[in-house]
Amino acid sequence: MKQQLTDSKSVLILGHPGHELRVLGWMKAAKPWVIVLTDGSGHTSEPRIGLTRDLIDEAGAQPAELLGTFTDEQIYKAILDQDFAFFRQIRNDIAAFLAVKEIEVVVGDAIEGYNPSHDLCRCLIEGAVAEFQQTTGTTPLNYEFPLVGHPAVWSDHPGSECYRLNDADERWKRERIFEYARTVGGTLLTEVESFLEEFGPNALVEEWLTASQSAASLAQYKQTQPYYETHGQKQVEAGYYQQAILFNEHILPVITALGMDLA
């Protein structure tokens, strides 16, 4: 299966630039097309998509046309405005891309309740893959990876695959992660340092891809508040945003509009 993960026509689909750091070794080996929904500007208006494009080029991967097309503010506004057509168009564009490139392996963000853009990215992937299957009769392998916690947190899930880096690629990955984090600074650098302090240097050696299943966990957020709701309220209080994004009020209707049934 490892050879299939690296030798097939593949695409990496991310909500934000920087997520590729979690699967940098696989990206270098598989050389996938890369789709990134936002430019990573957050509330700072300082995009970091250029850093990700540089990594894509260095790894020998291929940037798709949909690469940092939207600002985070545009995504959040579309969520708050319940602009279903906006998200359906993104889903359709991704599905069309899968068909044109005859994609065999899809890898992307997972649903963790950490950030609404991350979770919606996975929903868009699921919708695009479903549309691709319906129109072409082709079923690509569909993998996700965690953005929070240890890379092997889902290693016991059915359909999990491990891409293990050799020493040279692990050093390259470590250097690029710190280079990226130091350039961006702030929260990202703190997160990288905390990650290595908590999990140790060997956590960078293994990259776990899990057969997509996190969408099944979405229903829990009807009753259990996701992290991004409490964090979003703090951002509102800090003056970064005017309104927090809520699952039941904002995310659930978008998911439903994309054709996902959480009943």
The pLDDT of residue 2 is above 90: no
Residues 176-187: what's their mean pLDDT? 91
Long-range contacts at 44-50 (CB < 8 A, ≥ 24 apart): 47/17, 47/71, 48/17, 48/18, 48/183, 48/184, 49/17
Mean of per-residue pLDDT scores for the chain:
93
Amino acid letter, 257: A
Q: What is the pLDDT of residue 202?
A: 87
Q: What is the pLDDT of residue 115?
A: 94
The pLDDT of residue 198 is above 60: yes
Residue 35's DSSP bridge partners are: 13
In 3D space, the residue among 243, 167, 229, 249 whose CA is nearest the CA of residue 201 turns out to be 167
Q: What is the pLDDT of residue 180?
A: 95
Alpha helical stretches, state H, 11-83? 24-30, 49-59, 72-80
Residues 124-152: what's their mean pLDDT? 95
In 3D space, the residue among 7, 2, 26, 1 whose CA is nearest the CA of residue 145 turns out to be 26
Residues 77-131 have pLDDT tens digits of 999 999 999 999 999 999 999 999 999 999 999 999 999 999 999 999 999 999 9
Q: What is the pLDDT of residue 23?
A: 98
Q: What is the pLDDT of residue 44?
A: 67
Question: Which domains, and CATH codes, for the chain?
Answer: 2-168+207-257 (3.40.50)
Amino acid letter, 2: K
Query: Residue 200: CB partners within 8 Å, gap ≥ 6?
Result: none
Q: What is the pLDDT of residue 219?
A: 85
pLDDT band at 214 (very low <50, low <70, confident <90, very high): confident
Residues 24-34: what's their mean pLDDT? 98
